[in-house]
Chain A
């Protein structure tokens, strides 16, 4: 009776000891420096990736117009409001003409007066003409009489001088008439100029468009070049996209684009690159491209943020790896290859990358090579590893 009980106790204690030792061994192997680093591996495959570029941009109007006066002045009329659709040539606003109308009236009066001056000059000319004709007839008769010796030479010469004087008076009257006519022309030109100035204070729409802002109201003074109204052509909306210079290789005109507007995150619009700017921003290190939409949606607002993905042409098939496999050791980019359970760092040269995280490996790896993708820790060549299917899920 006593011996079995003792045996039980011995067994129990022994079992407890074994359990404790097993637990300790398990704990030591699972954590601390002896524990293996859990990793996942994948095989390099040959395939084509679908490279694309990603950038963000704002909706802008390709053609926007600032409507304002060419000289400082006061706004006297604003006829349209924000949101109004206007036609080319439509009167949008008018500046105060100040004294332009009065100056036009004065010029009109001057032109009328110039007309009278012409009439007077014509009458004077006719008078001079008549005198000249009479002087010519008289002179001719005196010359004939002088030839028959009925008149002294002195009398004949006096009549000839009278004829020359009368002709000179005609020429003078001609010149007076021309001057009066030129004066009229000058006044007419001045009036036309004034009329243009008068027209210039009328602000007209240069193209069909929509008013997007009304910057000055009636009575406010604006300087030359300051906007009273702003117009855009709603049909000319496009997106100014900024792309990181480092990730803009392959950006050319005509690339197909997929656009997501911030106001409609679930709707996808399509378009293509209409222009690539020749200069890029050196401060933000971004390149600029303008993307036109195939069918701009109704109610699009300028200044709205848009995410744009440009699809590049598919390159030739190459060895592909997911980008977490790329590791950096000192100054080399490479991958951790798994060869017979051992890790070896293999430097690689990488090519294009796609937005879903695939990387082209140009050199340093063959299809079918086993490569570490995810790891719990930074790896070294003598890390003890344990290959698992996935790393998250089993860890908190």
Chain B
């Protein structure tokens, strides 16, 4: 038995292939949209993974450090370290800001000085939780000041000098997939520098503040030399951090460590599950739902377009089908031909779409995560839609009057 579908495709294969590719690009867009949604969720997960923490200790009654601002004294970490079940704990600060490249050294930097990128500046203690776990180039920070490890997404290269507030930092290492929940790449700098960057004002503001303090008669008393200097020094110092990252000892449930912190230290402590809930259900909820809504619409539209393409393709062959019926072809054969064509079209479309989505995914400014599960679901959906759409076409084909073949 000859394959009717195969012969028909051979007959007009250019049209068939082009339709398949067009369909494929549409499926590619849908898959990418799913990837964008997955990427958003994965950014949030990556943020939690990379911090390497089991517990986040933050200011009481806040949902910091990612979803809300939180401020703790930097000696809190010592009292947390003393709690039973705590293996390691470290201070960390987060600050999202524009980081720009300052004067580069050597050749090849001409015209690159104004490169500026939105980044999350992380202040961490080397060797403690919060440190980037793996690098793709360079080395970890070894000096206690003025060195930085940047995510490759920032576009900075090893040896670049980047400016964060008033200091220049040398990029000594590059890492990958270190992003904030908003997808901004991270720049890691030593904690003390980060504390300064976060809370130290610009020079004009400092001068104004000094003048303001000096103008206050209660703080600038004639009979008490040194008082004004002491007050101004205390105003310039900062001992705050945004969170304490805690790793619990193996086998100790995180909640059993979190409970005494909440109760006795008067701080808030979140476990990994609670933090995920905050990030995914609260922080990125609206934008994720926005993308998800668009994804649903795109999927529906794609399904409709696939159905219409197959339907119109069949209608375009209505004469040939009438001839087939006239020469006595069985209905089953005709239906099989249409179904096979529809499924073939769907398969070509899916492969083209998957390849296209994978190829253009790295060009997106934010992370696009193409999950295999999504791809399989996409394949099933495409095949199902094609099969459903072909039933419409089959109905139309079977209703054709054989006389139409000669009726002209």
Query: What residues make up the interface of A, taking CB atoms closer than 8 Å to B?
Result: 6, 9-10, 12-13, 16, 20-21, 23-24, 27-28, 30-34, 54-56, 221, 223, 225-227, 243-244, 246-247, 283-284, 307, 322-324, 326-328, 330-331, 353-357, 374-379, 390-392, 395-396
Instruction: Check if B208 is an interface residue, CB within 8 A of chain A.
Output: no
- Give me 19 other A-B pairs in contact (C-beta within 8 A), A20-B355, A392-B152 excluded: A27-B359, A31-B358, A54-B145, A226-B225, A243-B144, A244-B144, A246-B127, A247-B144, A307-B145, A324-B134, A324-B138, A324-B140, A324-B173, A328-B52, A374-B137, A390-B137, A391-B136, A391-B137, A392-B137
Q: Indicate the member of B133, B142, B239 with the most A CB atoms within 10 Å.
A: B142
Instruction: Check if B386 is an interface residue, CB within 8 A of chain A.
Output: no
Establish whether residues A23 and B351, one from each chain, have CB atoms under 8 Å apart when the complex forms: yes
Instruction: Check if B139 is an interface residue, CB within 8 A of chain A.
Output: yes
Establish whether residues B142 and A376, one from each chain, have CB atoms under 8 Å apart when the complex forms: no
Instruction: Check if B348 is an interface residue, CB within 8 A of chain A.
Output: yes
Establish whether residues B13 and A283, one from each chain, have CB atoms under 8 Å apart when the complex forms: no
Binary CB contact string for chain B from 177 to 215 against chain A (1 if under 8 A, 0 otherwise) = 100000000000000100000000000000000000000
Q: Chain B: which residue is nearest A6 at the CB level? A: B10
Query: What residues make up the interface of B, taking CB atoms closer than 8 Å to A?
Result: 9-10, 13, 17, 49, 52, 75, 87-88, 127, 133-140, 142-146, 152, 172-174, 176-177, 192, 222-223, 225, 239, 247, 249-250, 348, 351-352, 354-355, 358-359, 361-363, 370-372, 375
- In the bound assembly, the distance between CA atoms of A55 and B145 in angstroms comes to 7
Q: Chain B: which residue is nearest A331 at the CB level? A: B87
Q: Chain B: which residue is nearest A30 at the CB level? A: B358
A302 to chain B, nearest CB (A): 15
Given that A23-B351, A24-B354 are known contacts, is A32 also in contact with B370, CB under 8 Å in the complex? yes
Establish whether residues B351 and A55, one from each chain, have CB atoms under 8 Å apart when the complex forms: no
Chain B residues whose CB sits within 8 angstroms of the CB of A12 once the complex forms? 13
Q: Which of B133, B192, B370 contacts A31 (CB 8 A)?
A: B370
Establish whether residues B371 and A327, one from each chain, have CB atoms under 8 Å apart when the complex forms: no
- In the bound assembly, the distance between CA atoms of A205 and B400 in angstroms comes to 117
Chain B residues whose CB sits within 8 angstroms of the CB of A16 once the complex forms? 17
Establish whether residues B370 and A379, one from each chain, have CB atoms under 8 Å apart when the complex forms: no
Chain B residues whose CB sits within 8 angstroms of the CB of A226 once the complex forms? 225
- In the bound assembly, the distance between CA atoms of A307 and B143 in angstroms comes to 10
Establish whether residues B354 and A357, one from each chain, have CB atoms under 8 Å apart when the complex forms: no
Sampled A-B contacts (17; CB under 8 Å)? A13-B10, A20-B348, A27-B354, A28-B372, A32-B371, A32-B375, A227-B225, A324-B135, A326-B140, A331-B250, A356-B139, A356-B142, A357-B139, A376-B176, A379-B134, A391-B176, A395-B152
- In the bound assembly, the distance between CA atoms of A357 and B143 in angstroms comes to 10
Establish whether residues B10 and A378, one from each chain, have CB atoms under 8 Å apart when the complex forms: no
- In the bound assembly, the distance between CA atoms of A392 and B159 in angstroms comes to 14
Chain A residues whose CB sits within 8 angstroms of the CB of B144 once the complex forms? 54-56, 243-244, 247
A106 to chain B, nearest CB (A): 31
Chain A residues whose CB sits within 8 angstroms of the CB of B223 once the complex forms? 223
Establish whether residues A357 and B355, one from each chain, have CB atoms under 8 Å apart when the complex forms: no
Question: Can you list the 5 inter-chain pairs with the closest CB atoms, starting with the nearest?
Answer: A357-B139, A391-B136, A244-B144, A324-B135, A54-B143
- In the bound assembly, the distance between CA atoms of A65 and B187 in angstroms comes to 44
Establish whether residues A378 and B49, one from each chain, have CB atoms under 8 Å apart when the complex forms: yes
B287 to chain A, nearest CB (A): 23
A70 to chain B, nearest CB (A): 14
B32 to chain A, nearest CB (A): 13
Q: Chain A: which residue is nearest B249 at the CB level? A: A331
- In the bound assembly, the distance between CA atoms of A13 and B196 in angstroms comes to 65
Q: Which of B192, B358, B371 contacts A27 (CB 8 A)?
A: B358
B133 to chain A, nearest CB (A): 6
A51 to chain B, nearest CB (A): 10
Q: Chain B: which residue is nearest A244 at the CB level? A: B144
Chain A residues whose CB sits within 8 angstroms of the CB of B370 once the complex forms? 31-32
B367 to chain A, nearest CB (A): 11
- In the bound assembly, the distance between CA atoms of A322 and B192 in angstroms comes to 24
Q: Which of B140, B174, B192, B351 contacts A323 (CB 8 A)?
A: B140
Q: Which of A20, A221, A378, A390 contacts B133 (CB 8 A)?
A: A378
Chain B residues whose CB sits within 8 angstroms of the CB of A326 once the complex forms? 140
Establish whether residues A328 and B133, one from each chain, have CB atoms under 8 Å apart when the complex forms: yes
Establish whether residues B143 and A225, one from each chain, have CB atoms under 8 Å apart when the complex forms: no
Q: Chain A: which residue is nearest B168 at the CB level? A: A265
Q: Which of B134, B137, B142, B372 contacts A353 (CB 8 A)?
A: B142
Chain B residues whose CB sits within 8 angstroms of the CB of A21 once the complex forms? 351
Q: Chain B: which residue is nearest A34 at the CB level? A: B372
Given that A307-B145, A357-B172 are known contacts, is A283 also in contact with B9, CB under 8 Å in the complex? no
- In the bound assembly, the distance between CA atoms of A223 and B250 in angstroms comes to 63
Q: Which of B127, B136, B138 contacts A376 (CB 8 A)?
A: B136
Q: Chain B: which residue is nearest A68 at the CB level? A: B225
Chain B residues whose CB sits within 8 angstroms of the CB of A330 once the complex forms? 250
- In the bound assembly, the distance between CA atoms of A243 and B145 in angstroms comes to 10
Establish whether residues A354 and B142, one from each chain, have CB atoms under 8 Å apart when the complex forms: yes
B153 to chain A, nearest CB (A): 8
- In the bound assembly, the distance between CA atoms of A382 and B134 in angstroms comes to 17
A309 to chain B, nearest CB (A): 8
- In the bound assembly, the distance between CA atoms of A225 and B225 in angstroms comes to 8
Establish whether residues B351 and A20, one from each chain, have CB atoms under 8 Å apart when the complex forms: yes
Establish whether residues A375 and B13, one from each chain, have CB atoms under 8 Å apart when the complex forms: no
Chain B residues whose CB sits within 8 angstroms of the CB of A246 once the complex forms? 127
Establish whether residues B134 and A377, one from each chain, have CB atoms under 8 Å apart when the complex forms: yes
A110 to chain B, nearest CB (A): 36
- In the bound assembly, the distance between CA atoms of A283 and B73 in angstroms comes to 11
Given that A323-B142, A330-B250 are known contacts, is A27 also in contact with B134, CB under 8 Å in the complex? no
- In the bound assembly, the distance between CA atoms of A382 and B137 in angstroms comes to 23
A20 to chain B, nearest CB (A): 5
B294 to chain A, nearest CB (A): 23
Given that A54-B142, A353-B142 are known contacts, is A223 also in contact with B225, CB under 8 Å in the complex? yes
Chain B residues whose CB sits within 8 angstroms of the CB of A56 once the complex forms? 144-146
Q: Chain A: which residue is nearest B136 at the CB level? A: A391
Q: Indicate the member of A377, A390, A392 with the most B CB atoms within 10 Å.
A: A392
Q: Which of B136, B138, B351 contacts A24 (CB 8 A)?
A: B351
